[in-house]
Amino acid sequence: MATATQAVQLTDSVSRYIAKSRQMLINGKWVDAASGKTFPTYNPATGEVLANVAEGDKEDINRAVAAARAAFDTGPWSRITPSERGKLIWKLADLIENHAEEFAQLESLDNGKPVTIARIADIPGTIDMFRYMAGWATKLEGNTIPISAHGAKFLAYTLREPVGVVGQIIPWNFPLMMASWKLGPALATGCCVILKPAEQTPLSALLLGELIQEAGIPDGVVNIVPGYGETAGAALAAHPNVDKIAFTGSTEVGKLIVHAATGNLKKVSLELGGKSPNVVFQDADIDATIPGAAMAIFFNHGQCCCAGSRLYVEAKEFDKVVDGVSQLASKIRVGPGMEPTTDMGPLVSEEQMNKVCSYLESGYAEGAKATVGGSRQGDKGYFVKPTVLVNTNEKMKVVREEIFGPVVTAIPFKDVDDLVVKANATEYGLAAGVWTRDIGKAHRIASQLRAGTVWINCYNVFDPAMPFGGYKQSGWGREMGHEVLNLYTEVKSVCTPIS
């Protein structure tokens, strides 16, 4: 593992940022929690306290909702032009770009991911998302509709209007990027927001709040309330003055969100878990497939809802693919995220590390074998070795359930029809991968897989213009692309006689 003496030097601004107890943003002001309580966020590379953050609760959610409600109903946000909204969102993207290194370091410290990855993936992806959504602010169009009712002439048309006050709950695996996936479309459509970052990783969202103010977005339009899911998150999901709740996280919690939202039948969008099949046919370019399959599971330490965690390989190439992925896994440099040579950092928390290790023990008890990795690494920090499991089958817990760690189960197949059945035999349907030189086969299998995204001869390719979301228990609705606008708008029909 990397040594602390090799760590990237923190910028002065980041050092100052984590040294001070962080407050929450409500109605344009940085305030303490109503209770006065704070909670610690930990550095997963060391297990030590990184910073202290105001602990939001029901009363803080009430204050934030009231601020967002006023900003939406009677404040300047309800009167601002689409062009002005777009300019403000674009300015926010510019400010993030100006502070890219601070954000990269905060993501590494708070989440554990390599700072090198945050620099080339998380931060640019965040900037691109805000810029993409800035362009949509001026393109929310309705339609004119020819109608034939009642034998008279009517002018009928639709308007696309913001849904209103939105509660957004984001996860800890891509803290800043997930904030952009939620805030970008909400701001572009004219909504006002209460954002609750994950309690494990609140720091980048709070720094984003400072830039939201600097960009000139009016007070109350974006409120940021850190806190725990069972308190702040639950209060937000159930609040009667919230018009919509958007959640990214586990399927288990997503079901609780749905239940909480029934009080006022608020709109709900969910991006939930996955257990994605990654299918390798014997006619694939194996030299390209092996690193692709490794990246599909080990990117972001396997803490991706769409991770290619079930690797199905046609029997003829099974040993070669498993050996290749295992060799790449053995070369992954696991260490603190702030070490510049680190390929994979720690898992986000002790709880997550213990969960992943318990899945490994379950796999071994049911007969699985690790060709590489298979355990925790070291006794300090929350590191788990990249792991490939063989001797697995669809009855095993490690194959059926989402592990959310650097663990892939490899299973050979011979019959294509049986393969499709097994690939779809899951409660999830978020993503899938297909590797083959036969383009006809690739598209045929893609059409049969019940997943919101299917990558062919690639994996983990994202773009703000490409919708992302799941079938079945992987969620409701789509993030990104023009599809996301449906989640944050209402369609109003207007009709008047003209003769």
Handedness of CA 18, 21, 22, 28 (dihedral sign): negative
Residue 271 is a catalytic residue: yes
Going by the DSSP 8-state scheme, the letter that residue 313 receives in this structure is E
Q: Which of 55, 271, 339, 479 is catalytic?
A: 271
Residue length, the chain?
A: 499
CA angle, residues 436, 452, 473, in degrees to nearest 5: 125
Take residue 283 and report the two structure tokens written for it. Answer: 């006619």
Q: In what order do the strands lie in the sheet with 431-435?
A: 369-372, 387-390, 407-413, 310-314, 277-280, 431-435, 453-456
Residue among 62, 121, 396 nearest 240 (CA): 62
Q: Which of 191, 192, 304, 305 is catalytic?
A: 305
Q: In what order do the strands lie in the sheet with 144-145?
A: 144-145, 154-162, 489-497
Q: What is the C-alpha separation between 413 and 394, in angstroms, rounded? A: 12
Q: What is the C-alpha separation between 89 and 10, in angstroms, rounded? A: 28
Residue 394 is a catalytic residue: no
Take residue 36 and report the two structure tokens written for it. Answer: 């006065």
Q: What is the C-alpha separation between 386 and 446, in angstroms, rounded? A: 28
Residue among 395, 407, 425 nearest 304 (CA): 407
CB 178 within 8 A of CB 88: no
Residue 33: CA count within 13 A, CB half-sphere: 20
CB 346 within 8 A of CB 377: no
Q: What are the φ and ψ backbone dihedral angles of 27, each rounded to 5 degrees? A: 55, 40
**What positions carry a catalytic annotation?**
271, 305
